[in-house]
Amino acid sequence: MFMDSNLKEPPRPPAAEKEKAEEVVVEAAPPKRGEEVTVIDDRRLFVMNLSYEVTHEEMKELFGSFGDIEDVEIPLRKYGGGVALGISFIRFKACEGAIAAFAALD
């Protein structure tokens, strides 16, 4: 609400533009087994349902048997005192390692 009578309310977008913006937001269902999936980075795996106490060394040891590991990321809770989220991102140096790990551990 504007208190000063000299100020005008900012212009609102036309209804057509508002509808257009709402059409952009689309939720896709997760892919089913056997469906094609667009791959953004074929060297990176997302791993979930991990113990909160999992370490970088344990992840490197497990996934290192499938190929050379470039990076292991274990995100921490923002307000949890450094407690892990129970997920991890594993980046291999070559896509063959990621494919082999996915095939063996899925």
CATH code, domain with 84:
3.30.70.330
Q: How many residues does the chain have?
A: 106
Query: What's the pLDDT at 22?
Result: 44
Say whether pTM exceeds 0.75: no
Which residue matches tokens 């991102």?
89
Instruction: Determine the structural domain holding residue 65 and report its residue range.
Output: 39-105
| 1, part of any domain | no
Residue 29 lies in a domain: no
Token duo for residue 38 = 């667009």
Amino acid 26: pLDDT: 41
* Residue 27: inside a domain: no
The CA-based dihedral angle spanning residues 63, 67, 68, 73, taken in that order and rounded to the nearest 10 degrees: -30
Looking at residue 79, its pLDDT comes to 79
Domain presence at residue 34 = no
Is 31 within a domain? no
**pLDDT of 84:** 87
Closest CA to 91 of 53, 41, 54, 49: 41
Measured CA to CA, the distance from residue 10 to residue 70 in angstroms comes to 50
Residues with pLDDT less than 50, the chain: 1-2, 17-26, 28
Number of domains within the chain: 1
In this prediction, residue 78 carries a pLDDT of: 81
Residue 6's pLDDT is 57
- Is 43 domain-assigned? yes
Phi-psi region of 64 (alpha: psi -120 to 50; beta: other; left: phi over 0): alpha
Answer whether residue 11 is part of any domain.
no
In this prediction, residue 2 carries a pLDDT of: 45
> Is 88 inside a domain boundary?
yes
